Amino acid sequence: MNEDPITLLVVDDLRSNLFALEQMLAPLKVNTILAEGAQAGLKHLLHSQVDIVILDYSMPGMNGVEMAKLIHQQYSEPPPILFVTAHGNNVHGLEQTCYQVGAMDFIEKPIHEVQLVAKLKVLITLVKQREEMRRLATVDILTGLPNRLSFQDTIKQNMSLASRQKSKLGLLAFDLDDFKGINDKYGHDVGDALLIEFAKRLSNSIRTSDYAARIGGDEFVCLLTNIHNDDEVKNIAKKISEQCNGTFHYEGKELRITASTGAALYPDHGETPSLLSKAADVALYDVKANHKGSVKLCNSQDHRASNHERVTGHIKLGYQPIYDRQRDQIIGGEIFCRLENANEYGGIRGTIEHIRQLGLSRTFEKTLKDKLLGEVCTSSNSANLSGIQLFLNQSSRELINYELNQQLIDLSKQLESKNLHLTIDVSDWERARDMPLLIKHLATLHDAGIGLCIQDIGETSIPVAMLLTLRPEYIKLSRVLITSFEHNTIYSDIIDACCKLSQAINARLIAVGIETESQFHGLKQKTIQHFQGHLWDLDLNVDDFTKAISQHKHI
């Protein structure tokens, strides 16, 4: 809770009333500001931090009601107001009027000290709770550093100031080396202790004018103010790195902390928070790929452009058919993205993560969608695709982005003109960063006619109430269940439960990743509608996919 003293502003047109209230407030140990009249009170609100306002209801000139209205018009988070009135129940609708203009409560004259103190204690508690909630919303609970939300506000404010002063800022992006390996080997307690220790070293190594934050996982940032050139950023980054890297002791274990550091300069490498962060990330992931534990400053826009070309210039799409057992035909296809240089980054998942780390997710997503639209609309057999459902994988972390959702809606509209239907195939559900916003965006996509499929049912943790809210058209069984159910009755029972779940929420169940005939025959005994896997097809190009549909290829 916030231990700073509460500041009360007392507004009354009579000095005698002001001094009387000041005496009554003494036991509360609060800071008291006395204002004679509404105009004086408004001036104090402009120049002082006020937590609670005690306001006389009836004053000459601007009365208490008018002042309360003005306060609520001018302030996004107005302080609680306690009205003081001599009229009591003689004023018609006094209580309703007070609440309509934003007053939290009122007290009648003559004022009883006990009653006044009791009402103010309630308001003081409310103010402290609100401050604590605001603090928790901007502080990382584990390390005590500011969090991503606080960092975003701070970098915006500092960029605005630097722009006016024609000055520079430095941004350092840190990523702990091999953190996942330590976490997996020694457990989350050791991992948490390591994060706490790194945060402590980072806080102790930065200048008083700089700002450090933890923005997620093992990712930290530091905003450097009063910067003049590239060399200054690099020198500060190296000093911080030297003080943060080193031996770490925890319950008899001796571990070593090292962090890779990427640096960027405002406005040279980016004129917005997003662009500057992407520039620092480009440098960071070059460091992690080549010289872990060291520091690198982003070279230039040309460097970012070369990464852009390397990542997006070789996109290949594959289509894996999804079969309907009852109709014995292909009802859709899952879109797979391949890059010619994907093995460099550990396969497709590693590639997508690499693209995200480079800050090129938006460009990559748009390129992928443009290529998909171009292929399915210009294929020599595109007429055969009519009525087909196209399943496009999307990360839950990306779906909270407005720009991406607009891309999906535009893509869906163009596909619908060809009688093709888009379904987003949501992965990494448990890593969603802002669940209320994600649900809101999914509702918008649903209203635009875009279907929803949720992956890894039976393994991912998603509340049933959430499924009822989202109402997905499709759900996909976890591949772990598919590969294990023949040898473990528990997995088989889980699949049966997923079948019942799909029926209960009126969603179609897809068995994904079928590799063998025995898997297929075992799953056919259950109430599963759709099947997909390499047993029948690898990822087909668009022409082979449309040919398979036209030939009524069956399973």
**In this structure, what CATH number is given to the domain that contains residue 15?**
3.40.50.2300
Question: Could you tell me which residues come within 8 angstroms of residue 550 by beta carbon, excluding any fewer than 6 positions away?
Answer: 381, 384
From 112, 138, 164, the end of a domain falls on: 138
Whether residues 284 and 387 share a domain: the answer is: no
Predicted confidence (pLDDT) at residue 389 exceeds the cutoff of 70: yes
From 243, 266, 299, the end of a domain falls on: 299
Q: Which residue has the higher pLDDT, 486 or 46?
A: 486
SS (H, E, C) 122-164: HHHHHHHHHHHHHHHHHECCCCCCECHHHHHHHHHHHHHHHHH
- By mean pLDDT, which of 178-182, 243-247, 353-357, 432-436 is the weakest? 353-357
Asked if the structure places residue 443 within a domain, the reply is: yes
Whether residues 283 and 355 share a domain: the answer is: no
Predicted confidence (pLDDT) at residue 20 exceeds the cutoff of 60: yes
Specify the pLDDT at position 188.
85
CATH number assigned to the domain comprising residue 273: 3.30.70.270
Q: What is the largest CA-CA distance in the chain?
A: 95
Predicted confidence (pLDDT) at residue 302 exceeds the cutoff of 50: no
To the nearest 10 degrees (0 to 180), the angle between helices 402-416 and 361-378 is 0
Assign 432 to helix, strand or coil.
Answer: coil
Whether residues 133 and 172 share a domain: the answer is: no
Average pLDDT over residues 386-413: 86
pLDDT (tens digit per residue) in 137-166 = 778 889 999 998 889 889 988 998 888 888
Q: Is the pTM of this model over 0.75?
A: no
Whether residues 278 and 366 share a domain: the answer is: no
Q: Give the mean pLDDT of the chain.
A: 84
pLDDT (tens digit per residue) in 64-118 = 888 988 888 777 678 899 998 876 555 556 667 777 777 888 888 888 889 999 9
Residue 513 φ/ψ, nearest 5 degrees: 80, 30
Structure letter (DSSP) for residue 418: T
CB 176 within 8 A of CB 256: no
Asked if the structure places residue 555 within a domain, the reply is: no
Q: Is residue 210 flagged as an active site residue?
A: no
CA distance 146 to 223: 12
CATH number assigned to the domain comprising residue 360: 3.20.20.450
Asked if the structure places residue 190 within a domain, the reply is: yes
Question: Cis peptide leading into 80, omega within 30 of 0?
Answer: no
Specify the pLDDT at position 2.
45
Whether residues 354 and 286 share a domain: the answer is: no
CB atoms within 10 A of CB 400: 20
Count of the separate structural domains present in the chain: 3
Of the candidates 51, 210, 218, 425, the residue annotated as catalytic is 218
Tell me the pLDDT band of 329, cut-offs 50, 70 and 90.
Answer: confident
Whether residues 65 and 173 share a domain: the answer is: no
DSSP calls for 486-522: TT-HHHHHHHHHHHHHHHHTT-EEEEE---SHHHHHH
Domain coverage including residue 351? 311-550
Whether residues 288 and 424 share a domain: the answer is: no
Asked if the structure places residue 143 within a domain, the reply is: no
**For residue 418, what are its two tokens?**
């060809």
pLDDT (tens digit per residue) in 424-476 = 998 777 667 677 888 888 999 999 999 999 998 887 777 777 788 888 999 99
Whether residues 80 and 155 share a domain: the answer is: no
Asked if the structure places residue 1 within a domain, the reply is: no
From 108, 138, 168, the end of a domain falls on: 138
Whether residues 40 and 186 share a domain: the answer is: no
Asked if the structure places residue 59 within a domain, the reply is: yes
Whether residues 54 and 185 share a domain: the answer is: no
Specify the pLDDT at position 271.
78
Predicted confidence (pLDDT) at residue 1 exceeds the cutoff of 50: no
Percent of the chain with pLDDT over 90: 32
Whether residues 249 and 339 share a domain: the answer is: no
Assign 442 to helix, strand or coil.
Answer: helix
CB atoms within 10 A of CB 266: 26
Whether residues 498 and 409 share a domain: the answer is: yes
CB 345 within 8 A of CB 363: no
Asked if the structure places residue 73 within a domain, the reply is: yes
Q: Which residue has the higher pLDDT, 250 or 134?
A: 250
Asked if the structure places residue 465 within a domain, the reply is: yes
Tell me the pLDDT band of 240, cut-offs 50, 70 and 90.
Answer: very high
